[in-house]
Every structure is written in structure tokens, then in C-alpha cells.
Amino acid sequence: MANWSDPRIGASQPTTIAGQEVAYDAGLRAHMLKVYNYMASGILLTGIISFLFASSSLALTMVNMETGRPSLLAWAVFFGMFGLVIAIRGGINRMATSTAQILFWIYAGLMGVWISTIFLFYSEGSIALTFFATAAAFTSLSLYGYTTKRDLSAFGTFMLMGVVGLLVALVANMFWQNNTFTLVIAAVGVLVFAGLTAYDTQKIKSDYFAYSGDSLAKAAIIGALELYLDFINMFLFLLRFMGNRN
């Protein structure tokens, strides 16, 4: 349980209900700020590596320009990221906080390599515009998830089922390569990860009271990873609508 004398709050244990509520609010704000800081720094790292990778022409090794399909290197990076997500989520309780942090940074770096190919297919101006549109939408949706009194648990379960459906559709479209179906997938993807942004924010907030100390620090990393994935996926799906093709 959350400790009222947690040094993050900087106060001794409150003796009144009002004092406990103030301490809880202060601790929650500190926790959410840490989550957002992790997430924002991860996105920044992804953006820097993505741009540098594309600028050095190394992004050309990630895609077959004749077919537009990922190269073997790209698939190696993808499965490396997939393995890291499993390792972080499944082993977070057994690893040190510093280890979890390092794995998060590695994941963000690999994501930068993976999405560097967007600079081959879209103009830099449209990528920047889509990024700021995603940031604005994410901020609004996360704020809604943080402030709403409505329980989003059932809604979140539905969105998670949507993620599974998206993965199946994406794999199918890799072989079908139908432009109309691609736009349909993109539209559904934007809606699914928009919904997950609100749901994950509420979940991170609700879970705060269940952790303390080192467990709370690890929970911040997991929360940041979830929001990071929501942001990146919403950005990539939205780019299919807003991006100007090179």
C-alpha cells in the first residue's frame, strides 16, 4: 500500500483524513509526473535515433524499396522489441529498477530504428505536423482518463481485443496490400489507441495506491511503457492519413 511517510511526499504520516488526502494527491502527482517524464524521454530518444538513422541512409537497410516490405534486419529489430516488452512486463518484479530503466531505453532506441523508414515515405513536414497532432490528442485523452469518474475497465478490455484484431489485420494486409483496407486499419488503429490512452492513464492512476517504494518506481516504468506504446501507435496510424508521400 502507498506509504503516507513516503519521502516523495516529504511529510510525516498525516493524522487526519484531510491530511491523508493531501499526502495522497501529492504522491499521486509525483508518480504521474515520473510516468510522463519517462514516456516523454523515451519518445525523444526514439525521435532522435529515427532521424539520425534516416539521415545516414541506414534506414534503407530496413525496407525493400521495390516491394515496400520490411527487410530481414527490420524483422530482427521487431522481434527484438517484442522480446523486450515481454521481458519488461513479465520480469519487472524480479529485476532491479535500474535494469528496467535500461531495457526501456533500449526499447525506445530500437523503436527509433524500426520507424526510421517513415522518412523514406513521408515528407518531414507532414511527419512533424502529425507528431504535434498526436501530442495534442494524447494530452487531451490522457487528461480525460486522469480526471473522469467513469470506470473505463470494460472499455479498456474492448480496446485490447481491438489490438489483437489490428495485429491480425496488419499481418493479412502485408500479403494482400490493399490500399482501402490499409486506410480502414489506420482508422481503427487511431480509435483503438486513442481509447487505450484514456484507459491506461486511468489504470496507472488507480494502481498507484497498491505500490510503494521500489515497486512504485517499477510501476512508473511499466506505466510509461504503456503510454509510450499508445502514443507511438496512434502517431503511426494517424500518419497514414496526414502524411504527404514522398
Give the pLDDT confidence score for residue 139 in this predicted structure: 97
Average pLDDT, the chain: 86
Residue 19 backbone phi and psi in degrees, to 5: -65, -40
State mean pLDDT over 152-166: 87
Share of the chain above pLDDT 90, in %: 56
Query: Does 85 score more than 90 pLDDT?
Result: yes
Whole-prediction pTM: 0.86
Give the pLDDT confidence score for residue 225 in this predicted structure: 96
Of 16, 116, 117, the closest CA to residue 64 belongs to 117
Residue 144 backbone phi and psi in degrees, to 5: -65, -45
Query: Does 237 score more than 90 pLDDT?
Result: yes
State mean pLDDT over 93-106: 93
Give the pLDDT confidence score for residue 64 in this predicted structure: 78
Task: Report CA-CA distances (Å) from 238 to 65, 151, 157, 189, 244.
Answer: 22, 27, 22, 8, 12
Lowest mean pLDDT among 57-61, 157-161, 172-176, 208-212: 172-176
Lowest mean pLDDT among 91-95, 141-145, 208-212: 208-212
Number of C-alpha atoms within 13 angstroms, CB side, residue 78? 9
Give the pLDDT confidence score for residue 122 in this predicted structure: 92
State mean pLDDT over 172-196: 86
CA-CA distance, 201 to 196, in Å (whole number)? 8
Query: Does 8 score more than 50 pLDDT?
Result: no
pLDDT band at 16 (very low <50, low <70, confident <90, very high): low
Residue 164 backbone phi and psi in degrees, to 5: -60, -45
Choice between 213 and 153, residue whose per-residue pLDDT is larger: 153
3-state secondary structure of 215: helix
Query: Does 92 score more than 50 pLDDT?
Result: yes
Choice between 64 and 222, residue whose per-residue pLDDT is larger: 222
Give the pLDDT confidence score for residue 157 in this predicted structure: 84
CA-CA distance, 138 to 195, in Å (whole number)? 10
